[in-house]
Amino acid sequence: MIKHIVLFKMKDRSAESIEAAAQVLRNLEGKIDVLVSLEIGIDVLRSERSFDISLTAEFASLEDLQAYQVHPLHQEVIKYMNEVREQSIAVDYEI
């Protein structure tokens, strides 16, 4: 099993902007067959060092994660997030 975690810091850190981006991410659920699970979280501390949104996804294999990366729906989300995010970081690991 592969766990894929991405944190996003938004350009516009208003609650409305963060919720809109989180909803775009949530919309991936159930639409990409290799995606075993998806969890989207919104930061509650809202500190200066905080990232605004977390995405945690699970895949059965590294090959499935790679298939997800190039999936057309994921590519649309990447395009959107590249426009609205200030920064993102990611980690992928085997569990």
Tokens 């981006």 correspond to what residue? Answer: 21
Q: Which domain holds residue 17?
A: 2-94
This prediction's pTM: 0.94
Per-residue confidence (pLDDT) for residue 47, from 0 to 100? 93
pLDDT tens digits in sequence order for the chain, 95 residues long: 999 999 999 999 999 999 999 999 999 999 999 999 999 999 999 998 999 999 999 999 999 999 999 999 999 999 999 999 999 999 999 99
Domain count, the chain: 1
Answer for the pair 46, 76: CB distance below 8 angstroms, yes or no.
Answer: no
Dihedral angle at the C-alpha atoms of 11, 88, 4, 68, nearest 10 degrees?
80
User: Domain holding 27: CATH number?
Assistant: 3.30.70.100
Q: Helices 72-84 and 62-70 sit at what angle, rounded to 10 degrees? A: 70
